Amino acid sequence: MMAPKKQQLSESKKVDDLKTSQKEVKDTTMTTNQGVKVNDTNNSLKAGERGSTLLEDFLLREKITSFDHERIPERIVHARGSGAHGIFELYENLEQFSKAGIFTDTSRKTPVFVRFSTVAGSKGSTDLARDVRGFAVKFYTEEGTWDLVGNNMPIFFIQDAMKFPDLIHSVKPEPNREIPQAASAHDTFYDFVSHATETLHNQIWLMSDRGIPRSYRMMEGFGIHTFRLINEKGDAHFVKFHWKPKLGVHSVTWDEAVKISGVDSDFHRRDLWDAIEAGQFPEWELGVQIVPEEDEFKFEFDLLDPTKLIPEELVPVKIIGKMTLNKNPENFFAETEQVAFLPGHIVPGIDFTNDPLLQGRLFSYRDTQLSRLGGPNFHQIPINRPVVDTHNNQRDGMMQMDVVKGQTAYFPNSLSGGCPHLAKMAEGAFTSYEERIDAKKIRTRSESFNDHFSQPALFYRSLSKWEQQHLTDAYTFELGKCKYTHIKERMLWVISQIDTDLAKKVATGLGLEIPKSIEQPINQAIGADADVEKHQPPKKKNYLDTAPSLSQANTKFESISTRQIAVLVADGFSMKNFNKMKDALEKEGAMVKLIAPHGGEVVSDEGIAHEVHEAIMTTESVLFDAIYIPGGTKAIEKLKKESKFIKFINEAFKHCKAIAVDEEGENLIDSSLVSNFKQDAAVLINKESIDFINAIAKHRNWDRMEVTKNIPV
């Protein structure tokens, strides 16, 4: 009877501490660094509600500048990354949409450099954190450098760049104790999310399996924002960019992610490097969703809202080209660390829209690179240099590496013959799209951005049962790490606006009730003097029952290329069975690794020695995609004596992976959990290699989840 009372006292103390903390900052009014009082720190100054952000917005520039310079020299966000070189090839001429050479010349092989990253963690954090992944591509085109700076999720957390510092401050380690690292499961993040409901769409993607990808090579990439394509006639079309991995979109389970972080925190970095070194070059196809300008307002959401996607069921993705990564960096710091991506790097034929998040990023990224890379000349670092010559009157500054000759550094001039002269449109000059602007300067956001529940609900409805279960578990874990009950209850109410059943399951896991209402407005991402009711999200709409393209259950299941297959062996293993399976797997591009009781060599039943890739004590099943046991009486008897081999099998089975055994290998799985589930579709006993290959290609047998979820390993 005493335990509940003790818990109540603990909760009461937390509330008292919070009230004391709030009292200390009571009646403090927000100001600029110059003492000017601020009444809106949520919206940038725009030319009309849906207009472009204005350069004169000193509040935005002060807030963003302060944020950009918080970390030196590590990136404030996306610090943990990996990169690779490659090429991009265009499938078909898109001159009806764009005059950009990269979209019109199918004979080109455009060099690229790609950097993948996590967002929240520091450089030393784990690859397997539940997080959004950066997916940034630098195209070294013949018309200049184009940077497509995106993520592995098609939307972002916030609608206006003014909120970016708040978002990142909420998800970074709490400043009073610098805990937790590379994790969103804490009070400050959910305090922010529950009050800024525009975050819910990206946040529910983060809670899904998309937040813990199997590999950089097995995740999608998105440009997030709506851009414009401009053709030679000056006609414009709206466009969203998609990267589709040739290997399909696959993830690991949360239990695997936790264990991989302990065994190999460089898992994704190593995976990318090893695949390229082995000649298994990662490939993605570039797709576009193109919307005519006259259709800008045909949807039940706003194209300029970066927290919204265009379902592929409404506007199909047109595949236009392929990117292949075929070379690892030669020096991590010089290339991967010093590469600088800027959304403002575009080429003729591509242009911006008035997306208020994009507008702020155009300022913020350059400002950040000035601090991180030591000055305005970061474009001269080899990895950032364009492949075309550059000529302008910009001079000197820190880290100047070019020796520019001549007397003049101004335009116009006569002493240098007027050079460098201005380019004409016919010569490929960049010209901005002529968009009519006739609006009042106003610090707000469009009411068309207010719908915060419909797309998160569509996403959840579109997931398979196993994806929904993983998402439910993620919410339960994350909110379970929060200490303040009022934050958990507010989040439960917000989730209930997305899906009642989801909220009930999470509430059960937390041991709480879903509140019938909340005292404060749902959305507080508005100014102090704003019309509160005007900016509250409406009830969710259902403009699509489901969007199958959003579910990983509908991804590609065609290839086992680069899949890691653990072969459990000891002295005396069956050479005949092993060779047959090895040849079949490697023909499909899989990577076969021998796991033995010890390092060094292991000898088959034919007396042939084989190199051991890993001793059982140095590895874990979570690093592999499937298990094969070739048999051999002597070998199986040895493996049965090593308890970690049984754990290895049990864990792989619990994680729904394919397991194949030949002959005496069945005796080993009889000592494991698998003995009770031999009828499982992905447990293959004395089957043909093609059956095992097909089971691996399906990634997991998720039907197994129901029978293994309560089995401890």
For the annotated catalytic residues, the residue numbers are 78, 151
Residue 304 Cα distances to 37, 301, 445, angstroms: 30, 9, 11
Continuous H helices in 481-567: 485-498, 500-510
Question: In degrees rounded to 5, what are phi and psi of residue 586?
Answer: -70, -30
From CA 311, how far away is CA 458, in angstroms rounded? 10
* Structural tokens at position 113: 């450099």
From CA 338, how far away is CA 343, in angstroms rounded? 16
From CA 648, how far away is CA 661, in angstroms rounded? 14
Sign of CA dihedral 431, 435, 440, 442: negative
CB under 8 Å to 61, separation ≥6 — which residues? 363
* Burial bucket for residue 19 (CB in 10 Å: 0-12, 13-18, 19+): exposed
Q: State which H helix or E strand residue 243 sits in.
A: strand 236-245
CB under 8 Å to 707, separation ≥6 — which residues? 677
In 3-state terms, the chain is what percent helix, strand and coil (to 5)?
A: 35, 15, 50
Contact 184, 130 (CB under 8 A): yes
Q: Which H, E and C letters describe 404-438, residue by residue?
A: CCCCCCCCCCCCCCCCCCCCCHHHCCCCCCCCCCC
How far does the chain reach from its first CA to its final CA, in angstroms? 33
Contact 45, 179 (CB under 8 A): no
From CA 317, how far away is CA 544, in angstroms rounded? 17
Residue 33 Cα distances to 36, 66, 366, 544, angstroms: 7, 10, 22, 47
From CA 119, how far away is CA 131, in angstroms rounded? 7
Neighbours of 373 (CB within 10 A): 21
From CA 504, how far away is CA 178, in angstroms rounded? 32
- Describe the crossing of helices 465-480 and 200-207 by its angle, rounded to 10 degrees: 110
Neighbours of 12 (CB within 10 A): 10
From 549, 535, 217, 225, select the one nearest 358 (Cα to Cα).
Answer: 225
Q: What is the largest CA-CA distance in the chain?
A: 92
* Structural tokens at position 318: 């047109």
How many helices (H) and strands (E) the chain has is answered by: 18, 20
Scan for tokens 């919204």, then name that residue. Answer: 308
* Structural tokens at position 506: 């999470």
From CA 234, how far away is CA 252, in angstroms rounded? 46
CB under 8 Å to 140, separation ≥6 — which residues? 110, 111, 112, 113, 386, 387
Neighbours of 74 (CB within 10 A): 14
Chain-centre distance for alpha carbon 15: 35
